[in-house]
Structures are given as structure tokens and as C-alpha cells.
Amino acid sequence: MTFSEMMNIGLMQGFAGLSLFAVLLLMGLGLAIIFGQMGVINMAHGEFMTIGAYTIYLGSTLTAQHAPAFMPYYFPLAIVAAFGFAFAAGWLVEWGLIRHLYKRPLDTLLATWGVSLALQQSFRTFIGPKEVSPTLPDWLLGSWAPAEGLDIPINGLFVLGLTALVTGGVLLALHKSRWGLRVRATVSNRVMANAIGIDTKKTDRLTFAIGCGIAGIAGAAFTTIGSTGPTSGSLYIVDAFLVVTFGGAASLLGTVVSAFGIAQTQSITEFFLAGSMAKVITLSLIVLILMVRPQGLFASKVRR
């Protein structure tokens, strides 16, 4: 194998790590808002991702059956719908359950775990136990070859662009919008935020729903790289919590850095070792770093 061929393989493997990074970052962003900003341990976060993935599949199926001429255009609209359905589900869960459990993190863990199991069973009952995949538009298929022997999947480029757009939008909203101002005030001092007229209960509900909506977008991105089943979201929930914890519970910048580090480490080690051993090495490195820096890569804020 020539040096050029080795470089191309290394670059393609690194790009595979970027695709994993995109999904982990979108999952981690939602968790960073919910867990880091609100102190809620949402074990059902993976199922909100699955809601987004199933929305893409249903959108693909309905479009193919009733409006096949619209197939090249359905995907962007389905992503918006994935955010909307996951957002609505998150709003209902916060209203019906989470709002009664604030400042009780262990109870939120158990309650959302129950929600996770209930949603998984609902997926099996109403959609089916088998994994499914949407029909992707033609413009998402194929690859881009910037050099001979180097093929970069177009769907991976799209997912990276989508992730950059969502990440930039979240950062902009947190620092430039009225919602972001209310969130930062509530995180800093809930009592004072209430005293100056901020409806912290409404802010909590909206924040939880937005975090779930971002998980729905992660599910939409996931459909471009894998099939969807009732337990698809649970495969990513541990990695998503690692991303948030490793980066710093309330740091969105830390979420970006840790998602990139975890995805690239896992992707590169999988090239040389079995997938299970690559996971072990990745987890071991995270544990060692957290032993030295338990607050994560970036210092986290504490909700008062």
C-alpha cells in the first residue's frame, strides 16, 4: 500500500468520525440544554431522537405513496417536522411529568427511564419491531471525489452542514435572543429571575422542549447513516451523556470539543481494533481525564 493510499484511507476514516461527531454533537446539544442548564437527567433523550428518525421514515413513505414527484424535496421539510414532533413530545413530557420533579435528579432519572421504556414499546406497537430506513433523495446519494482514491459521502457532508447550522443557531439563540437571556438568568439565580418577572416555569418547559427538538434533528441526521428501530436512540444515550459530562455539564463549547474528541478517538481506534475494544479504549481515556479534571474539559455552572 502506497503512502498516498494510506493517507486517503486515513482521511476517509477521519471523515467517518466526523459523521459520528455530528450525531453525537446534536444529541449532546439537546442534553447540554436539558441536563446542563436545567439539572434534569433525561434518560428518554434517545427516544426523542428516535421520534425524529421515524418522522423522516414516515415522511419518505407518505411522499413515495402520495406525491412521488415531491421525493427530491421532502427531506428538508421532514427535518423541520422531526424537530416539531420531538419538540411537541418534549413539551407534553415536561408539562405532565418533569415539572413536578425539579430539584430531584434521581426521580427525574427514574421517571424519564420509564418514559423511555414506554416510548420504545409504543414504537414497536404502532410502527413495528423491525428496523426501517427512509428512501433518501438522489441528491443525498453518492460521493464527492476531491482526489483520486478519496471518496467522501455526500450525505456525510450534508449532516455536517446541518450540524453546523443547528449548533450556530443554538449558540446565537442562547446569547442573542430573549429566550436565551431568560435561560441564562434562570440558571444563574432562579429566585432573582422570578423576582424580576421572568416566568421560570415557562422557560423550563420551553427549554426542555427545545432540547428534545434538537434530539429530533439528531434522529433526522441519523437516518442518513443508519437504519432506525425502536431501540436506536438507546444506543446513543450513553455516548451523549459522556459528551456532556466530559465537556462540562453547562458548557456548549465543551460539548462541541468533547463530541469531536470522542467521535474521532472511537473512529480511529476502530480502524485498527475491533469495535468493542475501540469503545473500551475511548471510555478508559475519558475516565482517566475525568479523574484528573472531574468538572470536565470546561468548568460547569451550578444551577441555584
Among residues 9, 11, 25, the alpha carbon closest in space to that of 222 is found at 25
Residue 54 falls inside a structural domain: yes
Count CB neighbours of 175 within 10 A: 11
Residue 12 has pLDDT above 70, yes or no: no
Residue 201 CB neighbours (<10 A): 14
Q: Measured between alpha carbons, how far is 33 from 186 in angstroms, rounded to an integer?
A: 12
pLDDT for residue 88: 97
Q: Which domain holds residue 66?
A: 21-140+149-238
Tell me, what's the pLDDT at 156?
A: 84
Q: Is residue 4 part of a domain?
A: no
Mean pLDDT of the chain: 85
pLDDT at 302 exceeding the cut of 60: no
Q: Does residue 254 lie within any of the structural domains?
A: no
Domain presence at residue 207: yes
Question: In angstroms, what is the C-alpha Rg of the chain?
Answer: 20
Q: What is the structure's pLDDT at 282?
A: 77
What is the reported pLDDT for 293?
77
Overall domain count for the chain? 1
Q: What is the reported pLDDT for 256?
A: 87
Q: Sorting pLDDT into bands at 50, 70 and 90, what band is 16?
A: low
Region 118-147: mean pLDDT is 89
Is residue 125 predicted with pLDDT exceeding 60? yes
Query: Can you give the pLDDT at residue 117?
Result: 94
- With respect to residue 286, please indicate whether it lies within any of the assigned structural domains: no
| Residue 276, domain member (yes or no) | no
pTM, full prediction: 0.88
* Structural domain includes residue 283: no
**Rounded-to-integer distance, Cα 259 and Cα 25, Å:** 5
Under 8 Å CB-to-CB from 125, ≥6 apart: which residues? none
Confidence of residue 255 (pLDDT cuts 50, 70, 90): confident
Does the pLDDT value for residue 216 go beyond 50? Answer: yes
More confident residue, 56 or 107: 56
Half-sphere exposure of 145 (CA within 13 A, CB side): 5
Q: Which residues of 39-72 are buried (b: 16+ CB within 10 A; e: fewer)?
A: bbbbbbbbbbbbbbbbbbbbbbeebeeeeeeeee
Q: Is residue 193 part of a domain?
A: yes
pLDDT at 8: 57
**CA 270 to chain centroid:** 22
Residue 212: what pLDDT? 95
Mean pLDDT of 102-121: 90
